[in-house]
Amino acid sequence: MSIPRLKSYLSIFATVLVLGQSVAAQAVELPDFTQLVEQASPAVVNISTTQKLPDRKVSAQQMPDLEGLPPMLREFFERGMPPPRSPRGDRQREAQSLGSGFIISPDGYILTNNHVIADADEILVRLADRSEMKAKLVGTDTRSDVALLKIEGKDLPVLKLGKSQDLKAGQWVVAIGSPFGFDHTVTQGIVSAVGRSLPNENYVPFIQTDVPINPGNSGGPLFNLNGEVVGINSQIYTRSGGFMGVSFAIPIDVAMDVSNQLKSGGKVSRGWLGVVIQEVNKDLAESFGLEKPAGALVAQIQDDGPAAKGGLQVGDVILSMNGQPIVMSADLPHLVGALKAGAKANLEVIREGKRQNIELTVGAIPEEGKELDALPKSSVERSSNRLGVSVVELTDEQRKTYDLKGGVVIKEVQDGPASMIGLQPGDVITHLNNQAVESTKQFTEIAKSLPKNRSVSMRVLRQGRASFITFKLAE
């Protein structure tokens, strides 16, 4: 064999050897969860509930068709269909729910999801040794989907609590729960993202993972590699009702804050500004003179709320709070909700193209939101304009009833930009091109001077809800 060919073979052999060693090293680096599971499992519990329901017939035709559901975020299908009615018509059915939870104190306090135990007449907890105990509901918080239970006991096994704020995308995480009733099932994956905002979930910065989560995992713990609880498994994103690779957990920092408040006072206090905000997209950023889409645009301010008292104005774009940047509008409720009533909030805002700081005192979120009713329509037409709308003045009664300092009511929508962006008769326009509208005359003057081929913002109030929309006028 020639020397050059021998060298070639030796080179190939060396390359294969290095690759083999690399693969072996990577295999060695994969985590082993056995010790974590052995230590943590005794403190993970199965939760079932019973709810008495009015007697009715249940047939196969009444079972829901899950396959045809559109994509959505939803709570797990914990509550199964009740069994058929017994021959005796005077008996009641019992609907059973199944979920998970975990013990956080030796004397028997347990964390789980609110939706696991919602509307339950009886809550039953099954421990790792198969013993069962009735649990007392200490308190619930629907906004965070956290519930605190209590069972009688002492020296019970507990889980170590970590810090969810230290989590980073890419880290390994482990879930233990009871999917489909299979107790202490272990699944693993990685953190896909942190600080996720979900529709209708304004106060929880969710942890997104790819850990397999299924019905029955709800309320169970999510662990880091140190065996510390970093979250409560809560929701999945699914088309079929089963796991599809996207699951969400409530950060343990949020859950423990809720738990401590429920234990001490029976309810949860959250910070509140009294504003309606919306996302700043590319067109809105252009219309407000921002370099890039970022921040929370103030679309509406609650009368006599903390924001109104602190000097915040409609049209302000909030860029940061207490030094923490607001990248997406949903970041703001997370930060405000973490504060207690009476705390100070320093907001950096863009107002009329200029940055300024506003300091205000955070209030307590009310039990129920105060909604404005739909505005009545005026009857006298005053002005038409190039936008393709006819507008009328607000009456004194409308201004007083809805606390409007200015604005005009759309009487009619013709073909044109207004029709294209979805404006409707009865809508109230309060701002146009970053200018407050006081009258139909002023509205017409602003409309005449609107720039062409550039994003223009308009604030519209419809049925008591305000939002900014954008449009462009062609040449």
Q: Which member of 141, 145, 316, 331 is catalytic?
A: 145
Residue 417: phi, psi to the nearest 5?
Answer: -55, -40
The catalytically annotated residue of 218, 287, 329, 383 is 218
Catalytic annotation present for 145: yes
Catalytic residue among 48, 100, 115, 253: 115
Residue 184 annotated to the active site: no
Return the active site residues.
Answer: 115, 145, 218
